[in-house]
Copies of this chain bind each other. A is one copy, B any other.
Amino acid sequence: MMDIKVLKPILGANDQRAQENRSLLEKNRIVAVNFTASPGAGKTSLLLATIKALRDEFRIGVVEGDVSSAIDAETVAKEGIPVVQINTGGACHLDATMISNALESLPTEDLDVLLIENVGNLICPASFALGEHRNVLVASVPEGHDKPHKYPVMFSKSDAVVLNKIDLKPYIDFDQDKFTAAVQGLREKALIFPVSCKTGEGIDHWASWLRDQIRVEQSN
């Protein structure tokens, strides 16, 4: 009887491509961080603050993901940072193939860190690995403290949560203790960094954590 070979993919197509991205990143000693958030939480503002805090120590590149427009990439390009804008068309998330294409357009040999701004969405990006080393969720005070209950998967997959727009706390009913309890109920050791990208409050503490994470990955 003929021996029929049955091939079973060990990984789905996206996961396989994500693993290839990861290998390429590591070959070039690049640490990649994936930023997710609701629309308008302040991902781009946080990226700009992060670039300002870390650009003297690391060579930083950026991938901007949006359904439409190049507004964010233009903002980042003004800082003199290598940046690629991905327009997903209708898709509600970046995927590993998009990142693979973006890497071809970036000077990978001259980068230490890749900051990836995912599409503004608290649901879909959770299902698509990109090859990233860390996941950071950017929440914001005006969204309310109940969001971890409503979007548990994204929160549970994030290594750190940056809580932006804390300068608006005096004007909004936001219970930070409830927010912290909800986040840590989903991921016990989740770190939460309250910041204001507008005033700069908390950015040092956040950047210090990210610096440590980059150093850890670089030494692996």
Give the interface of A toward B (CB within 8 A): 38-40, 66-69, 71, 90-92, 119-124, 127, 140, 142-144, 146-147, 149-153, 165, 167-168, 171-172
A71 to B182, CA, bound (A): 13
Residues of A contacting B: mostly: loop
Closest partner residue, chain B, to A69 (CB atom): B149
CB pair A67–B150 under 8 Å, yes or no, is: yes
Closest partner residue, chain B, to A154 (CB atom): B67
CB pair A124–B92 under 8 Å, yes or no, is: yes
CB pair B119–A123 under 8 Å, yes or no, is: yes
CB pair A90–B40 under 8 Å, yes or no, is: no
A205 to B72, CA, bound (A): 34
A4 to B152, CA, bound (A): 50
A172 to B168, CA, bound (A): 9
Query: Chain B contacts of A66 at CB under 8 A?
Result: 150
CB pair B92–A150 under 8 Å, yes or no, is: no
CB pair A67–B123 under 8 Å, yes or no, is: yes
CB pair B121–A67 under 8 Å, yes or no, is: no
A26 to B140, CA, bound (A): 40
A94 to B125, CA, bound (A): 18
The 8 Å CB contact of A151, one of B67, B147, B149, is: B67
A210 to B52, CA, bound (A): 47
CB pair A153–B90 under 8 Å, yes or no, is: yes
CB pair A39–B71 under 8 Å, yes or no, is: no
- Residue among A40, A91, A124, A127 facing the most chain B CB atoms (10 A cut-off): A40
Tell me the minimal C-beta distance from A158 to chain B in angstroms. Answer: 15
A122 to B66, CA, bound (A): 12
CB pair A121–B142 under 8 Å, yes or no, is: no
CB pair A120–B119 under 8 Å, yes or no, is: no
